[in-house]
């Protein structure tokens, strides 16, 4: 009897994790460096992860118009900082958007933000 798997995606589901700069180089671009510098200065984070996700959007028409889709336009930012203590998620995000207002005005298109305090991370891990 021939059996056909009705859900082949379940068998092939794997977790892949990587980040790369849009030009394939190992070093971060100027926008990524600026994001790191400004957020480090503002938040004094215990952890800061900045991932350039621009390559995932290189085929979108607006990105192609900004230099062939090779720009630094989309980033994911994860920050753990005590500067967020007592602030809502909205207030935390506003802090970051305010710090990066120049970059947003000059072509930074999208930020995906995860903002936590060290206490929130510890509580999350203890559950």
pLDDT at 127 over 50: yes
Total length of the chain: 127
> pLDDT for 25-75, tens place per residue?
457 888 899 999 999 999 999 999 999 887 665 555 555 555 544 577 789
Provide CB contacts within 8 A for 47, sequence distance 6+. 78, 79, 80
pLDDT band at 89 (very low <50, low <70, confident <90, very high): very high
> pLDDT for 62-76, tens place per residue?
555 555 445 777 899
Domain 28-126 in CATH 1.10.1040.10: no
The residue behind tokens 């009705």 is 6
pTM for this prediction: 0.70
Q: What is the mean pLDDT of residues 104-119?
A: 91
Question: Is 82 within 8 Å of 118 (Cβ atoms)?
Answer: yes
């Amino acid at each position: 009897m021939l059996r056909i798997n009705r859900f082949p995606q379940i068998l092939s589901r794997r977790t892949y994790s990587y980040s790369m700069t849009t030009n394939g180089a190992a070093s971060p671009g100027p926008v990524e460096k600026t994001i790191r510098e400004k957020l480090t200065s503002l938040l004094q984070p215990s952890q800061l992860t900045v991932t350039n996700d621009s390559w995932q959007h290189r085929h979108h028409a607006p990105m192609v118009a900004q230099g062939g889709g090779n720009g630094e336009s989309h980033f994911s930012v994860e920050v753990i900082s005590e500067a967020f203590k007592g602030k809502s998620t909205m207030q935390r995000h506003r802090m970051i958007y305010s710090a990066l207002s120049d970059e947003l005005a000059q072509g930074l298109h999208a930020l995906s933000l995860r903002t936590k305090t060290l206490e929130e991370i510890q509580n999350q891990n203890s559950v």
